[in-house]
Structure 1
């Protein structure tokens, strides 16, 4: 058998090179990443995933799994690219604060489903990323300071293993590996996640002319120095094509509006912002705070975990943002700094810098220069890895070695190829 026989092996849609639409469906979310594939399969359901794994065992082809291609690294040459976007079921049990979801469920869809019950999952800045993809990389969210990694909220994984068998995983080495070590060990078809109470949430963006950048940065430093875990604030320098440079602070608070405004009162002493969208909101609206694009586009990013905020702000404010489009500093700490039974473990670094621009040598050069100048630990979360990086840039050597052992036991034939794999870690 060969990939040409796929249509007889699965019920979902199969596209092969030369088929109409093949070049479009194989592309990842980030259009700057070239993603080759021997075939693309859109699985109909979990049973279809199992059928594909059994087919792969018989042909020796590897499977690269992506709900929609966020976080793609392009390491898919010769693989069957598995799309799990059709596995989009959501079952919420508010009595025990749990949700069972398919691997293709997007963050915004889960938030919409749980909001009616006064509950929340752990959403990040984008409503269109898959919950599964975020959890497999550990995952940072608006409420990470209060509740830890997104992966910490996963109570069970529904997977198809390398033998083509469906399993429910709730503990042990495989459970540990999937909670932030990537998708290299089994194909996840669904999750069970713990939900949190969110009777009141305040969120929004304050936006100023970039001439206020230093003043805004100083208040951001003071506010985050002793912020409660329920408050999250992100500082951003932005310069989009055709627009003037700006500075923003995005925030969420798990609580009432009066307290949220008191905690952020330092910003009220600054010149009146161009815009201030802070307000009580449903948890289903959190994805709109930063107004990130919801359609695929090209971009080049780099992230660094910061050990010192003052020095980092000095570096970032020393020169104009351009040729980058955005420089974001996220406040971490809180529950993220506490013990976590996951590959990344506790985040010792209190802040993260995220550098983004359109793909170009100038942007790449600026990112490298800033990364070298920033007070950075040299690590970063898995979900913030760039295509030219590896798990060794995110995880400690002991975690990498444990993940390699789990990979060898769970997938000895190398059927599964994640965006970032234990076999690609090199000698970082």
Structure 2
């Protein structure tokens, strides 16, 4: 405990220990179904504070785990000191160079609001409240990844604190191994205090959601398969099976198109032939409003998820996914990948050749509900077993998964060696440690 008490003399930011007022709130992860048994929370004031924390942790034999927003937490923190980086909130957008440099506490919605004003976009996912840094360290599957690849592919540089407590700027030229590892291999190798990345042109964006009663799911699925079979890289379409508590089951389609609204409507015309549309929010939209498409919760809540990458979505696989109601799951989402994801990537993930991504989510209100969610997820995976590739994106890993589930064996071995070389004392611990694979 003395080493923990000394934290208050080491850093300038707030330090909370077990028993302190506000500690329980501060240690809470995004997923409230996860218990996070950390002995201390440090809210760093700036990058120098992060460096001071690391130097103390190294000398005191402590471990540090960084969670900008708490997304992806597993509870497997091994009594590590929890680092919060919300105060590292600087954002610098250079519209001429088409770049952004953001601190480790910045969320995607904040970047999009600034970049969008210049006709530019980053490569965010579906939620505006996910941190840019945490998302990018996991690779980053974006709405616009079919056009521009992994979010990590657009990174130019990381500002980091290494395991010795020294600050450095890491690029492909300055430190090729560490730069490679940080572009999707997690934060297991250094604490990232800011990230610099390319922005991409987005003078026009069309997007929104269409929704029908679940009875139309076969027709929606057929149109989805038809559209995604020939979709241009600028078009991204996701299919959602939904069962909200107390409501009838639904099927929805979410879409974005980097281009003209008329072109987008032509590409999506097969959905317009399906009767019984309950709602249709598709329209020209600013990139800052991406989060409104799926309207995911912006406050912490309990949840259980599982993700899989699919090698195909042929008629057999489609029928299997629709063969029974999804409840007690809340949602089953199928994302179309392909496009730039399939191209070479100098990152731990490498090229993403699987064309579809399956994500299942439920709310475990009781132990019995949690068991039922696990059972239903497994049933769905078993039903499409021949199409499950066996790996999944790092940012989609969940409790029970390991880093080895996200990468090819050669990439895992390289990540493990970089970890041993750069952090031999194990000062850093990511949500899914590479040496735990």
Q: Please give the TM-score of this superposition, normalised by the length of structure 1.
A: 0.98
Secondary structure at 1:34's aligned position in 2? coil
Distance in 1 (CA, whole Å) between partners of 2:42 and 2:381 is 38
Partner of 2:37: 36
Which of 292, 298, 311 is residue 294 of structure 1 equivalent to? 298
Which of 229, 253, 258 aligns to 1:254? It is 258
Which residue, out of 332, 337, 359, partners 1:327? Answer: 332
| Shift, 1:422, TM fit | 1.0
Please state whether the residue corresponding to 2:294 is helix, strand or coil: coil
- Residue 410 of structure 2 aligns with which residue? 398
Structure 1 match to 2:429:
417
In structure 2, stretches of 5+ residues that fail to align are 365-369
Q: Match of 2:50, SS?
A: helix
Cα RMSD for the two superposed structures:
0.8
Q: Which moved more, 1:303-312 or 1:339-348?
A: 303-312
CA shift, 1:342, in A, is 0.4
Q: Is the 8 A contact 1:35 1:77 kept in 2?
A: no
For residues 191 and 358 of structure 1, the distance between their equivalents in structure 2, rounded to whole angstroms, comes to: 33
1:77 CA drift (Å)? 2.8
Tell me, in whole angstroms, the C-alpha distance in 2 between the residues paired with 1:312 and 1:173: 39
Partner of 2:395: 383
The whole-number CA distance in structure 1 between the counterparts of 2:325 and 2:376 is 11
Cα drift, residue 78 of structure 1: 1.5
Within-5 A mapping of 1:186-335 = 186-310=190-314, 311-335=316-340
Partners of 1:139 and 1:181 in 2: how far apart? Answer: 11
1:344 aligned to 344, 349, 357, which one?
A: 349
Aligned partners of 1:96, 1:49: CA distance in 2, in Å?
29
Which residue matches 2:100?
99
Aligned pair count reads 425
Q: Residues 83-120 of structure 1, C-alpha deviation per residue, up to 9 Å, x if partnerless?
A: 01111110011110001100111010010011111100
Query: Distance between the aligned counterparts of 1:50 and 1:312, measured in 2?
Result: 50
Pick from 362, 381, 392 the counterpart of residue 371 of structure 1: 381
User: Which has the higher mean CA deviation after the structures are superposed, 69-78 or 307-316?
Assistant: 307-316
**Superposition pairs of residues 12-23 of structure 1, within 5 angstroms:** 12-23=13-24
Q: 8 Å contact 2:213–2:276 — kept in the other structure?
A: no
**Distance in 2, Cα, partners of 1:57 & 1:346:** 36
| Displacement of 1:373 | 2.3
- Report the CA distance between 1:272 and its aligned residue: 3.9
CA contact (8 A) 1:203 1:251 kept: yes
TM-superposed CA distance for 1:74, in Å, is 1.1
Q: Deviations over 1:227-253 (max 9, x none)?
A: 000000000000010111000000000
Once residues 16 and 257 of structure 2 are traced to their aligned partners in structure 1, the CA distance between those partners, rounded to angstroms, is: 45
Runs of 5+ consecutive residues of structure 1 not aligned to the other structure: none
Question: Matches of 2:270 and 2:216 in 1, distance apart?
Answer: 14
Aligned-partner SS, 1:303: strand
Using the alignment, how far apart are the partners of 2:416 and 2:241 within structure 1? 39
Counterparts of 2:126 and 2:435 in 1: how far apart (Å)? Answer: 30
Contact 1:53–1:164 (Cα < 8 Å) also in 2: yes
> How much has 1:312 moved relative to structure 2?
2.7
In the other structure, the counterpart of 1:182 is 186
- 1:152-195 deviations in Å (ceiling 9; x for gaps): 01110000001111100001000000001010000000000100
> 3-state DSSP class of the match of 1:221?
helix
Q: How far apart, CA to CA, are the structure 2 residues paired with 1:77 and 1:341?
A: 31
Q: CA deviation at 1:34?
A: 1.0
In structure 2, distance between residues paired with 1:224 and 1:247: 17
The SS at the match of 1:289 is helix
Query: Partners of 2:293 and 2:119 in 1: how far apart?
Result: 19
Q: Work out whether residues 306 and 312 of structure 1, in 8 Å CA contact, stay in contact via their aligned partners in 2.
A: no
- Tell me the distance in 2 between the aligned counterparts of 1:132 and 1:312: 35
C-alpha deviations, 1:179-221, integer Å up to 9, x for none? 0101000000000010001000000000001110000000000
* Whole-angstrom CA distance in 2 between matches of 1:221 and 1:63: 45
Contact 1:63–1:81, Cα closer than 8 Å, also in 2: yes
Partner Cα distance (1:371, 1:15) in 2: 42
Q: What's the counterpart of residue 89 of structure 2?
A: 88
Q: Provide the rounded CA distance (Å) in 1 between the counterparts of 2:93 and 2:406.
A: 33
Q: Which residue does 1:361 correspond to in 2?
A: 371
Contact residue 140 and residue 150 of structure 1 kept, 8 A: yes
